[in-house]
Amino acid sequence: MTRGVLDGLRVVELGQVLAGPFAGAIFADLGAEVIKVEKPDGGDDARQMGAAFRHGDALNFHEFNRGKKSVTLDLKSEAGVAALHGLLADADIMLHNLRPGVAETLGIGPDAVTARHPRLIYCAMAAFGHVGPEKLRPGYEPLLQAFGGLSSITGEPDGPPVRMGASVVDQGTGMWTVLGALAMLERRHRTGRGGVVNTSLLETAVMWAGQKISGYVNTGSVPPRHASGHPNLVPYQAFDAADAPILVCCGNDRLFTRFAAELGHPEWPSDARFNTNRARLTHQGELLPMIAAIMRAVPRAEWLARLQRIGVPCAPVNSIPDVLAEPQVQAMGMVNQVPGEDFSLVSMPLSFDGERPCMQGPAPRLGADNALVAKRAAE
């Protein structure tokens, strides 16, 4: 098995469900040793979140815990906390997304842990943040999409707010945590000391909504929903072809000129209503229905061929099966078999020297690596 770029790095993860485990999965796929600390009674709740897939655990657990080791500790006991400190003695990073306030109650909050392990990088992932009146409030993905404004900018203009289909807040928080930990690791190389990285689902949601928030802060305009469209470009959205939807993105006036000609209307770019993007924004109520009527008359495959031929950016609105059938997706090799298992998962979306990080192993059985506790205690 290929060694990862973080080979030799040791991470102790006290992760539950998604944000914490996803951060741990990133570290594991990149080659770090990730020791997942779970409660003895059932372990990570994600093991039961869904039908049993393999070894009695749900598919989502396998997705976010591949390549890790599992140790069970009762952190409500002095012996369990002592064993955790044994694991942290030679660890580089600790990360958790425990319910707010729990780490401090258990005596493993950032101050206590970093005082005992000054080289450790301590990553605490919260729901609403580490300061403020809501810092002890728990939260989940849809709550923070709603609270952080993402739901308000997603969906049809006249429809209700919609949750995004992917867990962008949870997984984004995992990504920011890894980024912060690696930045802190670089500082430790220079100073010899660790520190605390704080991330939260709220901060991630606000960042993902950042363009809309900055627009409101600086102009006072509340952003409307645009479905598949764009607030600043026209045409830049999905249209129904004769058989299936297609997304067309005219990102400048030159592309619109080509697009208009292909639709049989070379006069549009000379029309004062449509000759610039700003004009098209003002008059999109007139332009878009005309485009939609023309697009509906031709099958999607024909539109894709014609628009790609003239260099107008476009794409099919794919279903998940469609995505997996795309030759480009297959060429990128993102879906790979888990080592030692008979199923496949999506790999990390980056490559080093042209090579995608490989999954280092399957998700661990609960407590499969408890011998590590005694081994570390003896060292």
Q: Where are the domains of the chain?
A: 10-209+334-378, 236-316
Q: What is the model's pLDDT at position 3?
A: 78
pLDDT at 238 over 70: yes
pLDDT tens track for 328-366: 999 999 999 999 999 999 999 999 999 999 899 999 999
Catalytic residue chosen out of the listed positions 55, 117, 226, 230: 230
Residue 376 has pLDDT above 90, yes or no: no
Q: What is the DSSP letter of 370?
A: T
Q: What is the mean pLDDT of the chain?
A: 95
Supply the pLDDT for residue 176: 98
pTM comes to 0.92
Question: Which of 1.10.940.10, 3.30.1540.10, 3.40.50.1820, 3.90.1150.10 is the CATH number of 236-316?
Answer: 3.30.1540.10
Q: What is the mean pLDDT of residues 17-45?
A: 97
Model confidence at 378, pLDDT cuts 50, 70, 90, reads: low
Between CA 91 and CA 12 the distance in angstroms is 7
Say what the pLDDT of residue 374 is.
80
265 is catalytic: no
So what's the architecture of 10-209+334-378 in CATH?
Answer: 3-Layer(aba) Sandwich (3.40)
Range 338-344 contact pairs with CB under 8 angstroms and sequence separation of 24 or more: 338/62, 338/66, 338/362, 339/1, 341/54, 341/62, 343/53, 343/54, 343/62
Residue 1 has pLDDT above 60, yes or no: no
Give the pLDDT of residue 225.
87
